[in-house]
Amino acid sequence: MIDMDYIKERFKAKADELGADVKDLLKQHGSKKLDEVTVAQTYQGMRGVTGLVSETSLLDPNDGIRFRGYSIPELREKLPRVPDGSEPLPEGLFYLMLIGELPEEKDAQHLSNVWGRRSQVPRHVFNTIDKLPPDTHPMTQFGIGIMAMQTESVFAKAYSDGINKKEYWSYMYEDAMNLIARLPRLAAYIYRRKYKGNVHIEPDASLDWAGNFAHMLGYDDDSFRALMRLYMTIHADHEGGNVSAHTVHLVGSALSDPYLAFASGMNGLAGPLHGLANQEVIRWIQQLREELGGGLPNKAEIEKYVRKTLDEGKVVPGYGHAVLRKTDPRFTAQMEFAKKHLPDDELVNIVWRVYEVVPPILQELGKVKNPWPNVDAHSGALLVHYGLVEYEFYTVLFGVSRALGVLASLCWDRALALPIERPKSVTTRWMKDFVSGKIETGF
């Protein structure tokens, strides 16, 4: 068994407690029905099927995400901040997701220090990135960088040396902490190589995880650092069924180490219906502006552009959600940030105007279940304001944040010894026989 710091010890104690509860729950209620699955759900993305457990957060269709019971406005108030800071430290959110209790300031500080100490990225990872054509999409570079870092997995090494399955969680935990510590440096390297003449910025050990990330990207403005803390907090987790979280859980269930599992999740985040929507929103707005010759478009002009997008058989990026049915509180948090720090920014005002125009049009279609904006509708405009205009990089920022939630969850998966995931699939021929009564499920 490897060394335990006090946060790891706390996690182990919580995991033992919950592990015993789960055992009891399964013994007493294991055969109780939680859900029924329809033919339509089987074909339509398993929407609404409750089939996963994720401890770190829970999504309410109307109220939005709650992290261990706390809403985003509550987190902005209750989580530790840097002295005189206005936004929560993502370190505090990670502690909350992992341990299940609000951290004290010293806990967030401890994580800042641990991640700072572990943040060294091996040279061969940068060498691998350097071999890629410069126009390689930043998300592809990010995935490749994470895979190149897999050489560092302590779990993979321990497994190959032979460890008791009771110790899996401990090595997974170490990998998760190392990976979270290293991701900002990897991401900043990709950014500076692609967009800033390959000139890199050394980390500043006095800064917190998100503040240091902002610094290494090349943005030292105090309010940009505050934005990064907010950004890294609100994108961290969205319960367990979204593509990136589910993928990490699924791949991790094969005992693939956290580097392998997280890289897989990032490939899912890179899809335009998921995380890549944040770049698509800015691209979509830039095209609107180009068509109109710049400036702040009026509502009629936006409406025309939205209808054109729909007529071309495209989705309006940043709108809609598979679970949410109201405006995403992550959108609202960013709107509040903008009202405080950059209320007159033109792009931000376009985002707000689009918010007035799009929902009634999507409602009119009659098929869109959620016409309201999601997190991605707002994030790009804030980044553009501070000069981070390279929108192909935006999903990498999302990915660095998402590591906090999915890796805390992966620690829980191994601590609870959840088994390999393997749902049953059928063929359409089987389905036809089943609906016509020729066969019964019988599985």
- When asked if residue 405 is in the footprint of ligand HAX (CB under 6 A), the reply is no
- When asked if residue 439 is in the footprint of ligand HAX (CB under 6 A), the reply is no
- When asked if residue 322 is in the footprint of ligand HAX (CB under 6 A), the reply is yes
CB contact at 8 A, 79 and 88:
yes
- We find the least distance from the C-beta atom of residue 200 to ligand HAX, in angstroms, to be 28
Contact pick of 32, 123, 131, 367 for ligand HAX (by CB under 6 A):
367
> Is 3 part of the annotated catalytic residue set?
no
Smaller CB separation from ligand HAX, 48 or 218 = 48
- When asked if residue 29 is in the footprint of ligand HAX (CB under 6 A), the reply is no
> Is 238 part of the annotated catalytic residue set?
no
- When asked if residue 320 is in the footprint of ligand HAX (CB under 6 A), the reply is yes
- When asked if residue 80 is in the footprint of ligand HAX (CB under 6 A), the reply is no
Rg of the chain over Cα atoms, rounded to whole angstroms, equals 22
CB contact at 8 A, 116 and 182:
no
Contact pick of 247, 374, 379, 401 for ligand HAX (by CB under 6 A):
374
- We find the least distance from the C-beta atom of residue 318 to ligand HAX, in angstroms, to be 5
- When asked if residue 378 is in the footprint of ligand HAX (CB under 6 A), the reply is no
Smaller CB separation from ligand HAX, 132 or 310 = 310
> Is 274 part of the annotated catalytic residue set?
yes
CA atoms of 52 and 41, how far apart (whole Å): 15
Catalytic residue among 215, 238, 274, 378: 274
- We find the least distance from the C-beta atom of residue 123 to ligand HAX, in angstroms, to be 32
CA atoms of 174 and 159, how far apart (whole Å): 13
Contact pick of 368, 382, 407, 415 for ligand HAX (by CB under 6 A):
368
- When asked if residue 191 is in the footprint of ligand HAX (CB under 6 A), the reply is no
Contact pick of 155, 173, 319, 331 for ligand HAX (by CB under 6 A):
319
- We find the least distance from the C-beta atom of residue 310 to ligand HAX, in angstroms, to be 6
Q: Which of 77, 63, 333 is nearest to 92 (CA)?
A: 77
- Residue type for position 105: E
Give the torsion sign (CA, 69, 75, 78, 81).
positive
Contact pick of 23, 165, 369, 432 for ligand HAX (by CB under 6 A):
369
Report the phi/psi class of residue 24: left, alpha or beta, with left for phi > 0 and alpha for psi in -120 to 50.
alpha
**Tokens matching residue 217:** 């990207």
**Tokens matching residue 126:** 């940068």
Report the phi/psi class of residue 293: left, alpha or beta, with left for phi > 0 and alpha for psi in -120 to 50.
left
Smaller CB separation from ligand HAX, 316 or 342 = 316
CA atoms of 11 and 95, how far apart (whole Å): 9
Q: Residue 58 has what DSSP assignment? A: E
197 to 236: interface string for ligand HAX, x by CB under 6 A: ----------------------------------------
Contact pick of 252, 317, 359, 399 for ligand HAX (by CB under 6 A):
317
- We find the least distance from the C-beta atom of residue 267 to ligand HAX, in angstroms, to be 14
CA atoms of 222 and 330, how far apart (whole Å): 21
CB contact at 8 A, 89 and 82:
yes
Closest residue to ligand HAX in the complex (CB): 320
- Using a 10 angstrom Cβ sphere, with 0-12 exposed, 13-18 middle and 19 or more buried, the burial of residue 295 is exposed
Catalytic residue among 238, 321, 378, 385: 321
Q: Residue 194 has what DSSP assignment? A: H
Smaller CB separation from ligand HAX, 44 or 198 = 44
Contact pick of 321, 330, 378, 414 for ligand HAX (by CB under 6 A):
321
Catalytic residue among 137, 376, 378, 385: 376
- We find the least distance from the C-beta atom of residue 281 to ligand HAX, in angstroms, to be 7
**Tokens matching residue 310:** 């729909």
- We find the least distance from the C-beta atom of residue 237 to ligand HAX, in angstroms, to be 12
Contact pick of 354, 376, 388, 397 for ligand HAX (by CB under 6 A):
376
- Residue type for position 240: G
Return the residues of window 264-283 that contact ligand HAX according to CB under 6 A: 273-275, 277
CA atoms of 183 and 401, how far apart (whole Å): 9
CB contact at 8 A, 380 and 391:
yes
Tell me how many residues contact ligand HAX (CB under 6 A): 21
Displacement of CA 7 from its chain's centroid (Å): 23
What is the distance between the terminal CA atoms of the chain, rounded to a whole angstrom? 40
Contact pick of 315, 389, 416, 418 for ligand HAX (by CB under 6 A):
315
Per-residue burial over 67-103, b if 16 or more Cβ lie within 10 Å, else e, is bbebbbeebbeebbbbeeebbbbbbbbbbbbbbbebb
Q: Summarize as ranges the residues that interact with ligand HAX (CB under 6 A).
A: 242, 273-275, 277, 315-322, 362, 367-370, 374-376
Active-site residues, by number, are 274, 321, 376
